[in-house]
Structure 1
Amino acid sequence: MLGQGIPSEPATVGLAVELLMGQATITPQATFNAPVPQPLQPSETILSGLTFMHPLEQFGNPDLIAVIAYQTQNDTSDGTVYLVQNSFVDLSSLVTGNKTLLWTPPDNSKAWRIFSFWEAYTNQRSCDGGPNATTVLGNGSWTVDHFSKRGASRTTEFWEQYILSDRRVAELLHDVGNYGM
């Protein structure tokens, strides 16, 4: 189905992305001086209830988008962590080029939680390719980013180059489109 994906090289701008999160706790009286918390993939527990014809394929490096922190209230016995709403601190500008962070919370008598947000391509196929594919077209389709202008452009560019470029096909689609309303 061309509506959900198009033939592309993996990690092409306009393909589907996901937001990943990392986190770390700063105990009272402590300073955070370490690499930014690495992104974690959704747990198998979350994914086990979902059925994917084509699972996510992890490769490449995610891009760090933001790093923030919140003071935490006392953790509960069930592991739930409550954040103090008005304690938000944006730490993004403090991250060094090698993605490390040095930060002492403004109120270090309390525990704090650092959250890092990363963007990565899902590299999820929407359609398998043929055996022994040697071209992008034969390699199947990759899911596009349905929420971005670039994802829509990837789809329309593909249609214009490979489908609508045939005048007869374009005419037939136009004729059939009249009955779609």
Structure 2
Amino acid sequence: MSRYEDHFPGRQPLTEQQRQLLERFFMVNAIQRRVIQQLEDVLGPLAPYQQQRLFFQDVTGLTHFRRNFFGTVGQFLGERVNLTYQLAVVEHGSHRKRTYTVEHLDQVHRQPVAQGTVLETLNYRQLGCKIQRIYTVQAHHLYWEKNQIWVHGQEMAWVDGLMHLQQQLSPHAVWLQQGFLAIHDYT
């Protein structure tokens, strides 16, 4: 018996239905590669856009990112500097607003939003810093609109606010001190 047969005993050639499904998969995959190439021809590599959180497939992409953040870095900061998080989703048309804390982010997907605004707020209460990131939702996709930062209730320019946050966070964040993470990673 061959190695292949050891792993797939009794395996038969693909049926016509299976081949048709694979053909659809190959077609969609080829289209996706072409669209990515077109995007990268216009924007350059997509990775920096994704790393800077300038777009998400849908609101669950954002919630997945935040749940990972609060499962690692945010967990330590929550205890040390009283970091809190809130996600607000406002639907256009109905103007219905839903808000979620970190503990309830897993509920966001239950009520998807097609058109609207998403506002996420990180509040470093002990440090007096509040960060907001605003997204527009179009056809379920999130597109970044702007960042805002407040220090002790006063809005600051983004870079100045980040520099202040970095100075305040540094004693509490070993990863920041050691250069493993940049200040942007804390926003």
Q: What's the TM-score once normalised by structure 1's chain length?
A: 0.25
Higher relative contact order (CA 8 A, sep 6+): 1
| Greater share of helix | 2
